[in-house]
């Protein structure tokens, strides 16, 4: 049984998707937030999952916060740490501590549109497709080995809100899939690439059919 700790900052819809997936061989040991009012904490508690808050505003610097956060995580001895809408940039020391077992979901087709406001920037750039990426976390922001991506078309008349909603629906599909592959020990890192045993390259990128958009 693989022990998983999920970090959130808000309502935690991606955390919910992972919990609801009930992945065989996985146990959600805890959900931890940097915000005391994060809506996802109530969902986790209602599902019998341990919760904790490490409030970043009570720490003098990022290193002190990261040390406290690592202590809270390590108390659950996780095999995998999942960033599910965790809105804090982590220090290089923190990332190294969880090297190879720390994953994140980013709302763009990396390496395009790293950082914030990805949907707004995609619309401004006039791209024809957009999407989301699950990747291993490295010290360089949004640059770790890619596990899986989902592509959505950018439609005529799209707004930031409509594009956000369509991408989020795909996040809820691919994040549990990535966690499942890792729990099944099918993912290996080769340099800056993540290889999934038994998955065709065409199967690692999910493009929804027109009726889904």
From the number of C-beta atoms within 10 Å of its C-beta (0-12, 13-18, 19+), residue 8 rates as: buried
Known catalytic membership, residue 106: yes
User: Exposure pattern of 107-146 as b/e (b: 16+ CB <10 Å)?
Assistant: bbbbebbeeeebbebbbeeebeebbbbbbbbbeeebebbb
Catalytic entry in 76, 106, 119, 130: 106
User: Which 3 state secondary structure label does DSSP give 154?
Assistant: coil
How many CA within 13 A on the CB side of residue 59?
15
Task: Please count the other Cβ atoms lying within 10 Å of the Cβ belonging to residue 73.
Answer: 22
The residues annotated with a catalytic role in the active site are 106
């Amino acid at each position: 049984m693989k022990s998983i700790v999920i970090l959130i900052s808000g309502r935690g819809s991606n955390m919910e998707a992972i919990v609801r997936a009930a992945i065989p061989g996985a146990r959600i040991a805890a959900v931890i937030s940097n915000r005391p009012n994060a809506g996802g904490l109530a969902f986790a508690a209602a599902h019998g999952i341990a919760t904790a808050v490490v409030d970043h505003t009570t720490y003098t610097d990022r290193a002190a916060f990261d040390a406290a956060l690592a202590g809270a995580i390590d108390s659950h001895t996780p095999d995998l740490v999942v960033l599910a809408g965790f809105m804090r940039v982590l220090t290089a020391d923190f990332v190294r501590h969880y090297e190879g077992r720390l994953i994140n979901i980013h709302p763009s087709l990396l390496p395009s549109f790293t950082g914030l406001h990805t949907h707004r920037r995609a619309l401004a750039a006039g791209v024809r497709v957009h999407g989301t990426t699950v990747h291993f976390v490295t010290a360089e922001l949004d640059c770790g080995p890619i596990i899986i991506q989902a592509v959505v078309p950018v439609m005529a008349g799209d707004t930031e809100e409509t594009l956000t909603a369509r991408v989020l629906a795909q996040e809820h599909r691919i994040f549990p899939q990535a966690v499942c592959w890792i729990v099944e020990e099918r993912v290996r890192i080769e340099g800056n690439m993540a290889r999934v045993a038994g998955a065709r390259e065409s199967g690692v990128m999910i493009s929804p059919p027109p009726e889904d958009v």
